[in-house]
Amino acid sequence: MMEEMNYYDEVINLIERHHRWRGNCINMIASENITSIAVREAIVSDFGHRYAEGLLGGRNEDGLRIFNRFYQGTKYFDKIEGIAMKLAEELFEGEHANVVPISGVMANLAVYNALTKHNDKISGLTVQAGGHISHTRVSAVGVIGLREVPYVFDNYEMNIDVDKSKSILLREKPRIMMLGASLFLFPHPIKELREIANEIDAYIVYDGAHVAGLIAGGRFQRPFKEGADVFTSSTHKTFPGPQGGIIVCKKFLADKIDNSAFPGLTSNHHLHHVAGLAIALAEMKEFGRDYANQIVKNAKSLAQGLYELGFNVLCEHKDFTESHQIAVDVSEVGRGKEVAELCERANIIINKNLLPWDSLNDADNPSGIRIGVAEITRIGMKESEMKEIAEFMMRIIIKRENPDNVREDVIDFKKEFNEIHYCYQSRSGAYDIIRIE
């Protein structure tokens, strides 16, 4: 008879193996990052056991928002949530922040729910053009029952074609114009679309999930200054906070959006994540500029390196990127699926990605890969390391060297980078397990 597995030991063991492996990897998933040790301590704090349902009240003597809670026991948490809101308003330059959404999709859902009614229209990018699923019918747009109005996308410039989209928008009159994307190389034309939004009385909602850390660091674009009404985001991509969501908006939308987030779509808003978010916001206020600048330098440098080694990196004519991402067309060297799998064997973690000229049916094996440098920048890598990473990828994908051999060199290379930068302190290594004993 087979002995029953000890699941407890097995899961602990799998966590340890995961940490060891990922610590030996170069992680370039564009939607991922790692948090500081202080943020991780917040995540494992007692706040992870508590509830703080409630509605927004006035302000305390420090100017922080206060809350009318339904349960007792929240006096310290209330201050933390107030700090998170204040810092988010400052860093994202908006009038009102809501830190209730527990993910980026939930943030979008809360905004759609607040600002639209069933059958209204929403404009956005298709998934092939880089739009996030939550901008489309398969996800939040479909859940609320909205109708899609896709923008026309300029595949060469890798951006929204405002001139060609204009007549469609004027005719279809979407209630919400979504901006922001998951494949997101260049700032979106908020200013130009603001004029159209004014004509058709639409809200501009800027989904900064990918670029929030760059925006907080004063680098990509300034959504509210350029004309957005609402900013939504995940809190864990270029912004190095715990996994979660956030909404920042203009004052006149605050009540609707707050009510939609709670009690509309959330009961418990995961207080430990709010505490971690407050710490990450404080860190970004202090270190965000340096971090965002180095991210963009690294992205450009990795793109240039890959291009010089023979990769078809998109948008060479625009210096490849202004964000943390680069997109590579690998249709001539194995296509997305094989390329991503070969890289994984060599401990280089990336994802296959649809490019604008792919069909949705190509999702399993699209023509592209997407590479993000937020995490490798956070552990201290600079331009010279980008050249080395480009070499590793060239050996695997173009020279077709055995990935197992390249892996040895990747592990060796990665050994130097085990500290978290752009944060206050770093008592543990970037990939250590946080133990509480």
Residues that bind ligand PLP (CB under 6 A): 31, 103-105, 132, 134, 180-182, 207, 209-210, 234, 245
- In the bound state with ligand PLP, the residue whose beta carbon lies nearer, of 245 and 403, is 245
- In the bound state with ligand PLP, the residue whose beta carbon lies nearer, of 34 and 209, is 209
- In the bound state with ligand PLP, the residue whose beta carbon lies nearer, of 209 and 249, is 209
- In the bound state with ligand PLP, the residue whose beta carbon lies nearer, of 295 and 396, is 295
Q: What is the closest distance, in whole angstroms, from the C-beta atom of residue 434 to ligand PLP in the complex? A: 22
Q: What is the closest distance, in whole angstroms, from the C-beta atom of residue 141 to ligand PLP in the complex? A: 12
- In the bound state with ligand PLP, the residue whose beta carbon lies nearer, of 31 and 98, is 31
- In the bound state with ligand PLP, the residue whose beta carbon lies nearer, of 127 and 254, is 127
- In the bound state with ligand PLP, the residue whose beta carbon lies nearer, of 182 and 260, is 182
Q: What is the closest distance, in whole angstroms, from the C-beta atom of residue 178 to ligand PLP in the complex? A: 9
- In the bound state with ligand PLP, the residue whose beta carbon lies nearer, of 132 and 188, is 132
Q: What is the closest distance, in whole angstroms, from the C-beta atom of residue 16 to ligand PLP in the complex? A: 26
Q: What is the closest distance, in whole angstroms, from the C-beta atom of residue 60 to ligand PLP in the complex? A: 30
Three-state SS annotation for the chain: CCCCCCHHHHHHHHHHHHHHHHHCCEECCCCCCCCCHHHHHHHCCHHHHCCCCEEEEEECCCCCEEEEECCCCCHHHHHHHHHHHHHHHHHHCCCEEECCCCCHHHHHHHHHHHHCCCCCEEEECCCCCCCCHHHCCCCHHHHHCCEEEECCEECCCCEECHHHHHHHHHHHCCCEEEECCCCCCCCCCHHHHHHHHHHHCCEEEEECCCCHHHHHCCCCCCHHHHCCCEEEEECCCCCCCCCCEEEEECHHHHHHHHHHHHHHHCCCCCHHHHHHHHHHHHHHHHHHHHHHHHHHHHHHHHHHHHHHCCCEECCHHHCCCCCCEEEEECCCCCHHHHHHHHHHHCCEECEEECCCCCCHHHCCCCCEEEEECHHHHHCCCCHHHHHHHHHHHHHHHHCCCCHHHHHHHHHHHHCCCCCCCCCCCCCCCCCCCCCCC
Q: What is the closest distance, in whole angstroms, from the C-beta atom of residue 277 to ligand PLP in the complex? A: 12
Q: What is the closest distance, in whole angstroms, from the C-beta atom of residue 278 to ligand PLP in the complex? A: 18
Q: What is the closest distance, in whole angstroms, from the C-beta atom of residue 429 to ligand PLP in the complex? A: 26
